[in-house]
């Protein structure tokens, strides 16, 4: 916060932090800069030169948080952006400048908005990130805070700038200056093969020694490589990897407002315009969106996001509007919204599909044919598109209740019934199916729609040891069997026990997981139908304890044990 005198004039002020040799200045304001104070200067020297200097401890973590919030706010100038160093950020403004008039007007708008927020900014725009960094930090001035390098004119724009603009380490800058290479333009015509040799022949700070010559040569070669790499990145000869702060969208629709948008009706109208624009972009690419994000950039510098998802690729504007409208009531426009974007974060191919020309109850009247072709359900979903109504319902429930609460069953590669499926969110089903291996249909015997949370022990009376049950007791009730179908043999997953100690817990869970199972579909005299199984085989010597005797009195230490696994419909 600036230090002010009683007269209202700004007073020299600096932030301080701990350095290697005591307290040093980490940042200074404009009056302190005019007095010759610079970051890195020892606090004692600064006090001696300027006794009236006001100071306060620096807060790097708070500064980092504020810079991250500022970077998020800068998404109005481009969705791909991130923090650069400790006091800067970069933005990929490709395809955005025309919304502000031109590139100069866009940078002026950026600097002006930051100035109204109390921030002094320097901006640079060029074909590469390295060149934009150099222009912003070494070409921009207080009178001209924005500098632009024309397209394909990066070399000329950087030629007069100091070599420090290439984001080089301090040792590399010092070596270049000792070689008389103070400007970037002086590196253009320098033979690259000779640069490392010139570094090796440059006078050392402490003089050269024979014992350290090998290390010095390796260090000079490394520094020369760094200089050439940074130069190539700034000129666009070599690519420079960039990692955006947030997931870059596949498609994006944007709206800017001359005056801050406050009314709810205006927000709804803007959402409708964005949805139609994004749907058109998806249609031209024959794609449909799975995940979407609505970003509202408010006048106070904050950003609000609304995330929605679809269970299948979608590009119907009405459906997108319906999903977003359910969350608009929770949004706060604050002092107004300056810009809005609707982006598609994940898209998949979605070709045009022919719908039925005539519904099942329509005759050949031309008027009815036209009505059948154009008839559509609410929210812009075609009635004749099979499954679309179900997908729309899934999307609305998932976005209203939360994606983790609307689930479906997915197959798992296991033949054990309780392990053969798992629950996954419906919104993730489309993404999972696009990468899952093809599933081949294999007919299976009758299965219950829902299994018990875990198999429950039952007491069974059978006519023969290996035969179906005649009577069983479950949950203190006895049932007499009139029909039985089976058995269906399911072997245990023996590979899961490799490398594990034998089960000695005495629990029924260990018994039915380690023994073969014989399943029966049975029906009692009251019409109840059940799915039971016998774990283990008679006469087989299995390494199991006899802790199951209290659960099934008829079972010996190695005798099979019966379990209830589900109720058939």
CATH class of 3-58: alpha beta
| Domain definitions of the chain by residue range | 3-58, 62-158, 167-235, 249-442, 451-567
Nearest in space to 309 (alpha carbons), one of 392, 242, 399, 387: 399
Secondary structure letter of residue 405 according to DSSP: G
Handedness of CA 540, 543, 549, 552 (dihedral sign): negative
Burial class (CB in 10 A: 0-12, 13-18, 19+), 91: buried
Q: Under a CB-based contact definition with an 8 Å cutoff, are residues 157 and 188 in contact? A: no
Tally of CB atoms within 10 A around 133: 21
Which uninterrupted H or E stretch holds 271? helix 264-284
Q: pLDDT tens string for the chain (569 positions)?
A: 334 343 446 789 999 999 888 899 998 988 998 899 998 899 999 999 999 999 999 998 999 999 999 998 999 999 899 999 888 999 999 989 998 999 999 999 999 999 988 888 999 999 999 999 999 999 988 778 889 999 989 999 999 999 999 999 988 898 888 888 899 999 988 887 777 677 766 655 544 444 456 777 777 778 888 898 999 999 999 999 888 988 788 999 999 998 899 888 999 999 999 999 999 999 999 999 999 999 999 988 888 889 998 888 889 999 999 999 888 888 888 889 999 999 999 999 987 766 555 544 444 444 444 443 334 334 443 334 445 677 778 888 887 887 788 888 788 888 888 888 888 888 775 555 544 455 545 556 678 878 898 899 999 998 787 888 999 999 999 999 999 998 999 988 888 777 666 655 445 555 667 789 999 999 999 999 999 999 988 766 444 444 344 444 444 446 789 999 999 87
Contacts with 515 (C-beta within 8 Å, 6 or more apart), sequence order: 492, 535, 536, 537, 542, 544, 560
Residue in the structure block whose two tokens are 């015509």: 189
Kindly report the length of the chain.
Answer: 569
Q: Under a CB-based contact definition with an 8 Å cutoff, are residues 439 and 452 in contact? A: no
Contacts with 192 (C-beta within 8 Å, 6 or more apart), sequence order: 228
CA dist., res. 285 & res. 279, Å (int): 10
CA 524 to chain centre: 53
The verdict on domain 249-442 having CATH code 3.30.1490.100 is: yes
For residue 565, give the 3-state DSSP assignment.
Answer: strand
DSSP alpha helix (H) spans, 202-263: 213-235
- Locate 92 and state its tokens: 């990929």
| Cis peptide bond N-terminal to 487, omega within 30 | yes
* Cα–Cα distances in angstroms (integers) from residue 5 to residues 8, 12, 54, 118, 229, in the given order: 5, 10, 11, 18, 48
Q: Is 159 left (phi over 0), alpha (psi -120 to 50) or beta?
A: alpha
CA dist., res. 145 & res. 78, Å (int): 20
- Whether the model pTM is above 0.95: no
Contacts with 495 (C-beta within 8 Å, 6 or more apart), sequence order: none
Q: Count H helices, E strands: the chain?
A: 15, 23
């Amino acid at each position: 916060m600036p230090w002010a005198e009683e007269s209202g004039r700004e007073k020299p002020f600096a932030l301080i932090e701990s350095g290697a040799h005591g307290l040093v200045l980490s940042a200074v304001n404009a009056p302190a800069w005019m007095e010759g104070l610079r970051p890195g200067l020892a606090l004692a020297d600064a006090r001696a030169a300027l006794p009236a200097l006001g100071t306060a401890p620096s807060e790097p973590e708070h500064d980092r948080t504020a810079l991250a919030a500022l970077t998020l706010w800068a998404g109005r100038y481009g969705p791909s952006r991130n923090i650069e160093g400790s006091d800067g950020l970069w933005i990929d403004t490709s395809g955005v400048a025309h919304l502000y008039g031109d590139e100069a007007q866009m940078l002026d708008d950026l600097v002006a908005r930051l100035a109204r927020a109390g921030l002094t900014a320097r901006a640079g725009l060029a074909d590469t990130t390295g060149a934009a960094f150099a222009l912003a930090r070494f070409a921009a001035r207080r009178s001209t805070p924005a500098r632009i390098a024309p397209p394909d004119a990066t070399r000329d724009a950087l030629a007069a700038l100091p070599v420090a603009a290439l984001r080089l380490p301090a040792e590399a800058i010092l070596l270049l200056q000792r070689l008389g290479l103070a400007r970037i333009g002086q590196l253009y015509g320098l033979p690259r093969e000779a640069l490392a040799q010139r570094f090796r022949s440059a006078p050392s700070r402490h003089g050269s020694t024979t014992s350290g010559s090998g290390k010095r040569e390796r260090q000079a070669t490394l520094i020369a490589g760094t200089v050439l790499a940074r130069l190539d990145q700034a000129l666009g000869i070599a690519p420079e990897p960039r990692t955006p702060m947030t997931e870059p969208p596949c498609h994006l629709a944007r709206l800017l407002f001359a005056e801050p948008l406050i009314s709810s009706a205006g927000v709804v109208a803007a959402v409708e315009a964005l949805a139609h624009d994004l749907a058109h972009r998806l249609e031209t690419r024959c794609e449909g969106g799975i995940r979407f994000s609505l970003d509202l950039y408010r006048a106070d510098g904050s950003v609000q996001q609304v995330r929605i998802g679809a269970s299948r690729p979608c590009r119907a504007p009405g459906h997108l509007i319906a999903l977003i409208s359910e969350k608009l009531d929770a949004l706060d426009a604050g002092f107004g919204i300056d810009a809005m974007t609707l982006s598609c974060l994940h898209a998949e191919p979605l070709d045009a599909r022919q719908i039925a020309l005539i519904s099942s109850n329509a005759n050949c009247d031309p008027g009815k044919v036209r009505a059948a072709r154009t008839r559509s359900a609410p929210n812009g979903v075609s009635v004749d598109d099979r499954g679309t109504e179900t997908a729309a319902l899934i999307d609305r429930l998932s976005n209203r209740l939360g994606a983790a609460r609307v689930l479906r069953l997915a197959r798992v590669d296991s033949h054990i019934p309780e392990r053969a499926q798992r629950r996954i969110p419906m919104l993730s089903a489309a993404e999972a199916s696009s990468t899952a291996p093809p599933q081949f249909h294999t007919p299976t015997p009758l299965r219950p729609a829902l299994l018990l949370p875990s198999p429950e022990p039952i007491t069974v009376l059978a006519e023969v040891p290996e035969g179906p049950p005649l009577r069983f007791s479950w949950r203190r009730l006895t049932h007499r069997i009139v029909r039985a179908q089976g058995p269906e043999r399911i072997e245990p997953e023996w590979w899961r026990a490799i490398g594990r100690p034998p089960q000695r817990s005495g629990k029924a869970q260990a018994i039915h997981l380690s023994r073969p199972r014989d399943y029966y579909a049975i029906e009692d005299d009251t019409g109840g139908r059940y799915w039971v199984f016998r774990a283990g085989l008679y006469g087989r010597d299995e390494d199991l304890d006899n802790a199951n005797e209290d659960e099934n009195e008829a079972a010996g230490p190695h005798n099979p044990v019966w379990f209830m696994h589900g109720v058939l419909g």
